[in-house]
Amino acid sequence: MGLELYDAFPEAREVFDRADALLGFSLTEIMFGSGGEIYEEIETLKKTEFTQPALFTHSAAAMRVLESSDDRPDMTAGHSLGEYSALVAAGAIDFEEGLRIVRQRGLLMGKAGSRRAGTMAAVLGLDDSVVDHVCNRATSSDQVVVVANYNSVGQVVISGDVEAVERATILAKEAGARKAVILPVSGAFHSPLMEHAREGLEEVLMGLEIQPPTCPVYLNVTAQPATEAEEIRTRLIEQLTAPVRWSHTLTAMEEAGAGRFLEVGTGRVLTGLVRRTLGRETETAHAGTSADMQKILEAASISES
């Protein structure tokens, strides 16, 4: 994870090395599998306290390379953890402070998952309102399940107590879901089960210096743009127990004039969600590997010449 960028671009290498120094352990060894025990490092990387700084660092390294293309965003957004990368891209927070917060966020969410076991499930093929109703039916006096991610039309993720989520998957299938499957996660993210983590994150975020962003940042909680530092701080706190309104965010960005979506970081999941939400004709690009970067930088060089 990220090794191609590290080897190909000095700017990316600087970000990865800085992350190792700031964290006090070798994140890159876990990400790159350079310690010899690849399987053990993959299992470590799956733990949210390591997953979160790894994803954030990879995105930041890719963004650092992109800076040389002078291709600045007109607006940004990030899915869940990615919201912190979106804030870095918009100049609202710096990488160092962002990494510190993201590391604490991962530790807090991991502890919350240990305190009260929970899980998540993907539900495909149902309208949002139907999934909302399913969650209400599956929730009991002592077990809760809620929508965690409104990802795209017909693709929703639910989150909560294990038995409540299991009940919801059964009810979703009865309601006509094409698929309802439990996900391999370490906690019930974006649900009330993260309340303990939310309280801890609030303390951490009160010390975060947030600058006015250079462009609007569309926030998960509201699916609306924010430019004020205190609103951003408040929504980052709320985000841990509130759903990610990603499909609504994409629609709002398109309505505001977004015509090209560039996904920065690991994987192409968000690119797929853009196309499913806004249509396959929507212009998309990806910046996560060295090959991706070369294409973008070459295109930028041609346009400047």
- Where is pLDDT greater, at 135 or 185? 135
> pLDDT > 70: what percent of the chain?
95
**Residues noted as catalytic:** 80, 190
Does this model's pTM top 0.75? yes
pLDDT at 20: 97
Residue the block writes with tokens 């390379």: 65
Domain with CATH 3.30.70.250 in the chain: 119-186
Mean pLDDT of 241-248: 98
Residue 302: pLDDT above 70? no
Q: Element (H or E) spanning 260, and its range?
A: strand 260-264
| Distance of alpha carbon 246 from alpha carbon 75, whole angstroms | 15
pLDDT band at residue 245 using 50, 70 and 90 as cut-offs: very high
Closest C-alpha among 82, 81, 183 to residue 123: 183
Q: 148-182: buried (b, 16+ CB within 10 Å) or exposed (e) per residue? A: bbbbbebbbbbbbbeebbbbbbebbbebebeebee
Top-tier CATH class for 3-113+193-304: alpha beta
The answer to whether the CB of 218 falls within 8 A of the CB of 248 is no
Tokens of 278: 């806004």
The answer to whether the CB of 81 falls within 8 A of the CB of 55 is yes
Residue the block writes with tokens 């998957």: 169
pLDDT at 186: 83
pLDDT band at residue 298 using 50, 70 and 90 as cut-offs: confident
| Distance of alpha carbon 14 from alpha carbon 246, whole angstroms | 31
pLDDT single digits (tens) 166-179: 999 999 999 999 99
Beta bridge partners of 159: 120, 146
Residue 35: pLDDT above 60? no
pLDDT band at residue 37 using 50, 70 and 90 as cut-offs: low
The single-letter DSSP state of residue 243 is -
Domain with CATH 3.40.366.10 in the chain: 3-113+193-304
| Distance of alpha carbon 284 from alpha carbon 291, whole angstroms | 16
Residue 145: pLDDT above 70? yes
End-to-end CA gap in the chain: 33
Q: What is the CATH number of domain 119-186?
A: 3.30.70.250
Mean pLDDT of 287-297: 87
Exposure of 134 in the CB half-sphere (CA atoms within 13 A): 31
Cβ-based neighbours of 241, under 8 Å, separated by 6 or more: 190, 191, 192, 194, 195, 198
pLDDT single digits (tens) 77-117: 999 999 999 999 999 999 999 999 999 999 999 999 899 99
Mean pLDDT of 42-67: 91
| Distance of alpha carbon 130 from alpha carbon 27, whole angstroms | 41
The single-letter DSSP state of residue 187 is S
